[in-house]
Amino acid sequence: MRAGSKALSCQSACHLPDNLEQSRQNKVRAPECQSCHLGVLSTKAQNPFSQPKRSPRRLFALTENASITKVKSQTQASPSEAPSESGTENMAWVPGGEFIMGSNERWDDEGPEHIASVDGFYIDLYETTNADYKKFVDATQREAPYHWPNGEIPKGKGSDPVIYVNWFDATDYCQWRGKRLPNEKEWEKAARGENGLIYPWGDEWSLDRSNHPYKNSTGVEPVGSYPNGKSPYGLYDMSGNVWEWVDSFYLPHPGNNIHRSEYGTDKRLLKGGSWFDCLSYGCGLSAPTFNRSFFTPEVRNNSFGFRCAKSPSKAGAAAHSSAQSPG
């Protein structure tokens, strides 16, 4: 059977059944599902998520949490809605509140789809670049990424996202900037908005909206190269280019009772997928906003990077709250 046909069969066997438990079992047992759920789908095969997607209402129907239908319609915050805060240039304001997190459609650690909530925060529009990180290296005498010749950015690569940085590097850089790493909930809301988009740009897969392995990518590309792939809050590269470290441990979502030996506070999460084809070790399609990857925090490689977030100061938040209060 051709890979494209397998993907279509997988849609019928795994992604459409109303019985969640049967769908979950099919993903690991049914032969037609194994091509996309067990990581053996060729990069040249049709992406199973590229089939016509169900509407957001259908996604809501897959959850057991009835309150999921109460999330208000998608909106993008305007700059005027953000609290006044210094040091937030080239950052987007993500308003606090509820949003749809997780997914029932793929890996067991991504579910269940549920309502989560965050306080309002700022997050960088772009992944941290080599040029950004070089300032940190020079100011702190920190060791440069090992692929920089003689500690200097490779020629013409200043706008590429910095790679070969571990979780500690990312955390220290953000703190040096007066910021912090986003946690998983913050990152996911920033990527998918309130209504649980599958990809930052919507629910339909597209080959030309991110730097990903399905277009035969061979490495990172300058940040912001895909303006038509922005998230609802205007963020670039929230799918593909580099996996992004976040300040969360690899633990199950609320309501997830499926045991995984990998869960624990010895591992940190990464979000967003990358240019690299990791299907060979079973990670599945890395493009969706609800994906999760995990490694011990000292790991560095050529597909790991990060971006920073920032909470509003108490003064800024208080002024913002007062300005938003009626009359």
CATH of the domain at 181: 3.90.1580.10
In the chain, at which residue ranges do the beta strands (DSSP E only) sit?
91-94, 97-101, 114-118, 121-124, 243-250, 264-271, 293-295, 304-305, 309-310
- The answer to whether position 53 is within a domain reads no
CA–CA distance, 282 with 211 (Å, rounded to integer): 20
pLDDT for the residue numbered 182: 98
Number of domains the chain contains = 1
Residue 67 lies in a domain: no
Residue 274 lies in a domain: yes
Per-residue pLDDT tens digits of the chain, which is 327 residues long: 223 333 344 445 444 444 444 544 454 455 554 444 333 222 333 333 333 333 332 232 233 332 333 333 344 555 447 777 888 999 999 999 999 999 998 889 999 999 999 999 999 999 999 999 999 999 999 999 999 999 999 999 999 999 999 999 999 999 999 999 999 999 999 999 999 999 999 999 888 999 998 888 899 999 999 999 999 999 999 999 999 999 999 999 999 999 999 999 999 999 999 998 665 444 556 789 999 999 999 999 999 999 999 999 875 555 455 445 444
Looking at residue 73, its amino acid is S
Position 315 scores a pLDDT of 58
Question: Between 167-176 and 130-140, two packed helices, what is the crossing angle to 10 degrees?
Answer: 80
Is residue 87, in this structure, part of any structural domain at all?
no
So what's the pLDDT on residue 30? 55
Does some domain include residue 7? no
Residue range(s) defining the domain that contains residue 179? 103-310
Is 318 contained in some domain? no
Query: What is the pTM (predicted TM-score) of this model?
Result: 0.76
